[in-house]
Structures are given as C-alpha cells and as structure tokens.
Amino acid sequence: MRTIVVLASLISLCLFTSFAFASPDLQVETPTFNFGEIYQGDKVPHVFEFTNQGEDPLIIDRVRSSCGCTAVLVSEKNIPPGGKGELKANFDSARFRGAISKTIYLYSNDPVRPTMQFHLKGNVLEIVAVEPAQINFGRVEAANLVTTKVVLRNQGKETLTLGKPHATAAELLVKMPEVDFVSGAEVTIELQLTPKPGQERFSGYVLVPVVGVPKNEIRIPVYATINK
C-alpha cells in the first residue's frame, strides 16, 4: 500500500512539473540596435525579431516606447510554440542631438520575462552647430548697449542656404554677413541688446532661417537680468 502511495505521489509530481514548465518563453537574440552616427532630422527604421521557445502560445499584450521613438507589432499577437514575432521601430532624430538611447517595452504572458526591453542607440549629429547654443548676458544696465557673438558651423555634407536672421524682440538686433554656407564653413552672428528701462528680465530668440535643417530654422535663446 505504501508503495502505491509513493508511486502515485511521484506521478502527480511529474504531471505537476510538466504542467508548470509548459509555458511561453520569449527569446531575443539581438535586443539592441546601434544605428551609429546620423544627422539631425534623419529617421531610423529597424525591425526587432523574437521567438517563442516555450511550449505554450506567447500572447503579446501591448507595446510602449520612449519619447522620439515609435514602435508597432507587425506580427500576430498570438505566437505559437516555435513561432517568430516582429516589432518595427522608428526613431525620429529631429528634436535630438548627441548620444541617444531609446527603449521599447514589449509586454507579454511570458512568466519569466513579462516585460522585454529593446534598445535603439547611436549618435545624432547637428547639421548646424551653434556655439554657444544660448546666450545669457547676465546682469546688464537698462538702456545700455551690450553685444556678443554666436558662431554657426555647417557640419553637414551639403551646402545650406541661410536666410536673413531676426529677433523676436525689438530690443535685440542681429547682424550676419552673407556667405556661401558650404560644408565645413562658419559664419559669425553679432547680437546687440539694448534693454528697456522698467524691465527686470529680458528673454527672446534669434531666429535664423536655414534650408536643410529640421523645421528649416535655428532658434537661439537670449536672456538677461536688468538692473533697475
């Protein structure tokens, strides 16, 4: 009788173990894609592949991505055992610069990895470098003229067309020479600020039309604190 009980227990244990391990298993060979160097405004498409190496169907719940990146499941949500799924991602670099790392989250019924992360990495180069990227005159006297300079450098491969720069405030004047803005060329912009009496702070933008960059415009913030 004791032998029968032990045998029954072993059979039950084997059945339970088999049932417990019969689950989906999401596996990804390459979860990170490095797109290298691109220019600001370029878009990077990529398709991530994953497989279900488990014994039960893999059910995809949803996909979520970080800012600047979109992702969509282009395969079925129900991935059978041994089946393959695909996730299409697209990164838009228009609002980014420098080293970039974007994450995509894939949620499924995998009991071990219910959330799988995919990554897009690389470096976004500015077509036009602005040095300095913003101007802060610091503390200035009302009605007194202060000046500074900003350098634009064409880091792209093509010749760009520069339009006439202008400011968003009457107190700020902008002067820029006409140049052929070929690849590697630089142009210096002179900024002249004459703060109005009665103001405590000044803030505005210098806008430079540039054909060939995102939004066809460069915006340079300008700030100052005004002494009474």
Q: What is the pLDDT of residues 164-219, one digit of tens each?
A: 999 999 999 999 999 899 999 999 999 999 999 989 999 999 999 999 898 899 99
- Which comes out higher in pLDDT, residue 16 or 86? 86
The CB-based long-range contact list for 137-140 (8 Å cut-off, 24+ gap) reads 137/193, 137/202, 137/222, 137/223, 137/224, 138/224, 138/225, 139/224, 139/225, 139/226, 139/227, 140/193, 140/195, 140/224, 140/225, 140/226, 140/227
pLDDT confidence of 221, banded at 50, 70, 90?
A: very high
Report the helix count and the strand count for the chain, using DSSP H and E.
1, 18
Q: Say what the pLDDT of residue 16 is.
A: 43
Q: What ranges do the domains of the chain cover?
A: 25-125, 128-227
Is 60 exceeded by the pLDDT of residue 45?
Answer: yes
The CATH code of domain 25-125 reads 2.60.40.10
Query: Across-strand partners of 189?
Result: 150
Q: Is the separation of the CB atoms in 173 and 167 below 8 Å?
A: yes
Are 25-125 and 128-227 in the same CATH fold?
yes
Q: Is the separation of the CB atoms in 226 and 195 below 8 Å?
A: yes
Cα 200 from Cα 221, distance rounded (Å): 17
DSSP 113-134: -SEEEEEEEEEEEPSEEEESSS
Chain centroid offset of residue 182 CA = 28
**Residue 148 token pair:** 């500074």
Q: Is the separation of the CB atoms in 110 and 25 below 8 Å?
A: yes
Is 90 exceeded by the pLDDT of residue 7?
Answer: no
pTM for this prediction: 0.74
Q: Is 128-227 a domain of CATH 2.60.40.10? A: yes
